[in-house]
Amino acid sequence: MLDISIVVPLYNEDESLPELAAWIERVMIANQFSYEVIFVNDGSKDQSWKVIKSLSEKNTAIRGISFSRNYGKSAALHVGFEAAEGNVVITMDADLQDSPEEIPELYRMIMEDDYDLVSGWKQKRYDPLSKTIPTKLYNAAISWMSGIKLHDNNCGLKAYKKEVVKTIRLYGEMHRYIPVQANWNGFSRIGEKVVQHQARKYGTSKFGIERFLYGLLDLLSITFVQKYGKRPMHLFGGFGILSFFFGALVTTWLIADKVYNIANHLPYRNVTDNTWFYLALVAIIIGTQLFLAGFIGELMTMNSDRTTDYQVRDRIRV
């Protein structure tokens, strides 16, 4: 069994890969770790895969997976986690902004301090204010909604126990919420380590400002899936019943009020002439639809199993 699996998702990073591979190798040898490096080429348009092949010929610890097209970081991490064999799984970006020198301490925190997951915190960042300010707001929103107090949820440098990554299901852009998923799966010992943030040496960032908007939408999505993905009737059915009974109660009250006025020879209005009747009718219809949505959701949950299917073009020792 290997000590460490290092999963590196990448897209158009051919310039940085040789330096990163050599840096990782120096750290691993100095600390006498048994290891593997899994480079996941996410449909790069440059020479990244050619470089990975060349590196793997010089170092048998290097493995590789290459997608036929760009699927995104979550997909790359997903297949990397599936292939990982080490007791501790480390993820890091390929752009040299994450330092391999942090790996020994991350490994120690998992193995000796018994953390399930340790997330890096780039306390001092070499990014413009247009990126750092939205990042702080974004992290604050995640902490508030998830209850997990991390300063840098989106840091690519993280360490996991092997069993943690084997329970994570990544799709879309859910890589930002691995700590949230791990916590919901029962791996609640989540730590944080201040890590060095390197200035980008090659290429340009692959992420724009829109990732913060998408990130918040993904947070809402994963919150719903984790809480109600296996019991949609509890959410939709619950709101449906409340809406239906609200409408039924208002309708009953309108009818009772009319009957009372007739019986006591008082002025009265037809039920259909009252605005509340139409609000009640809408509530009944919406309640019925929500209940049916919950019922259909239960049927889909019981008869389907969401899987991920990514087209892999090539592999190296995987």
Asked whether residue 3 carries a pLDDT value surpassing 90, the answer given is yes
Q: What is the CA radius of gyration of the chain?
A: 26
Tell me which residue of 153, 173, 154, 2 sits closest to 76, measured CA to CA. Answer: 173
- 143 neighbors 92 (Cβ within 8 angstroms): no
Question: In 197-315, where does DSSP find H-type helix?
Answer: 210-228, 232, 238-263, 275-303
SS3 229: coil
The pLDDT tens digits of the residues spanning 97-125 come to 999 999 999 999 999 999 999 999 988 76
Contact predicate 280/36, CB 8 Å: no
More confident: 106 or 229: 106
Q: What percent of the chain has pLDDT over 70?
A: 83
pLDDT of 197 above 70 = yes
Q: What is the dihedral of CA 101, 107, 113, 119, to 10 degrees?
A: 70
Q: Hey, what are 53's tokens? A: 């092949």
Distance, in Å, from the CA atom of 132 to the CA atom of 276, rounded to the nearest integer, reads 50
- Out of 132-141, 216-225, 263-272, the most confident range is 263-272
Instruction: Using a cut of 0.85, tell me whether the model's pTM lies above it.
Output: no
What is the rounded average pLDDT of the residues 258-277? Answer: 89
